[in-house]
Amino acid sequence: MLIPKLPPFERRRSTELRILRRRTLGVVVTLCRASGALVAFTPREVLEAADAMRAQDDTVGFSWRTWGGEDGLMHMPFASTRSPRSHRFAQLDVFADRPQRGNPLAVVLEADGLTDEDMQRIARWTNLSETTFLLPARDPDADYRVRIFTPSGELPFAGHPTLGTARAWLRGGGEPSGERIVQECAAGLIEIRRDGDRLAFVAPPLLRSGPLDEADVAQLAAALGVERSSVRGHTWADNGPGWRVLELETAEQVLSLAPDLAWMTDSKLGVVGRHHAPADGNSPLYEVRAFTLGGVEDPVTGSLNAGIAQWMVDREPMPARWTAAQGTVLDRRGRIDVQVDADGSIWIGGATVLTVEGSILV
């Protein structure tokens, strides 16, 4: 590619290379110096420049950076010559004993060196409800640290990522320093215990509890397509993600919902109803559905079930152990085990299944 000679440039800095910028004939031209070559980019030259730079160095990649100019914001490409690094990667199904029947989770092991931007980009790429990143613990009482990302941002805590990450950590050779696994996350230290092949986390304290505003209850009931009189109870059950909960009279009502929740952009809604057939060791006591931002339904949700269990134990006598079902209308078979210890601790557990194992280039 023939590069014309250009007059002096106004120089700026990027994180990885020198960006040279000038205005020529009313067109913003960005020049990137990489591998000793100076390459010009205009909107019509992006593909040609990319091919030229890759011919010189096949490790060159391209991203987009926004620069302010006299004509407003302009998106211009810049090159990065950092060679991709390989990180161990796993994908698991959580709260299910068979692949493709639970809630999937992506885990990047040994995530040292990844920036916040790297983690967010990977979470958008996997496009799962959550992607986690395993890091060395900062707290001396923790076995490891985890960061939890959705495609749109970071969470302080989430249930199925807690169990799935612990399973990936154990499979990767992790050994707890004590009887239980201790996970460090933005919400604090979370204890995880093993019961055979199953894992369970202790429900974290609620950040917000108590009944919802009546206006919110009426609005949510209308969006669910049910009468206000069908709502048996309601509460905040926020342990990080911001859950609100409505309880309906029966599990059948929960399963029949066809809600219109596209307007819901600032919080998340859980709906629970009781199965009235006698529950044995294999039958769920409750049916749960979870609707996240924009009304998207989550297959199986540990944090929501933890908040619901805390609410129910505080409200009325409950058995020491029960199972909740979730994901039924999505053709999943999520099963959440709830156990209440004598000291009042509530444990949320279930099966985890490894479905993908390998490496990811970042």
Phi-psi region of 100 (alpha: psi -120 to 50; beta: other; left: phi over 0): left
Determine the number of helices (DSSP H) and then strands (DSSP E) in the chain. 6, 24
CA dist., res. 49 & res. 23, Å (int):
18
The token pair that represents 300 in the structure block: 């199986």
Exposed/middle/buried for residue 96 (C-beta within 10 Å: 0-12, 13-18, 19+): buried
CA dist., res. 75 & res. 151, Å (int):
22
Which is nearest to 80 in space by CA: 52, 104, 54, 106? 54
* 70: annotated active-site residue: no
* Residue 180 per-residue DSSP state: S
Exposed/middle/buried for residue 25 (C-beta within 10 Å: 0-12, 13-18, 19+): exposed
CA dist., res. 335 & res. 35, Å (int):
54
Beta bridge partners of 322: 338
Catalytic residue of the set 70, 130, 154, 214: 130
DSSP for 7-66, please give it. Answer: ---EEEE-SSSEEEEEEETTEEEEEEEETTEEEEE-TTTHHHHHHHHHHH-TT-EEEEEE
User: Sign (positive/negative) of CA torsion 15, 127, 160, 226?
Assistant: positive
DSSP, collapsed to helix, strand or coil, labels residue 221 as: helix
Beta bridge partners of 74: 67
Catalytic annotation, residues? 130
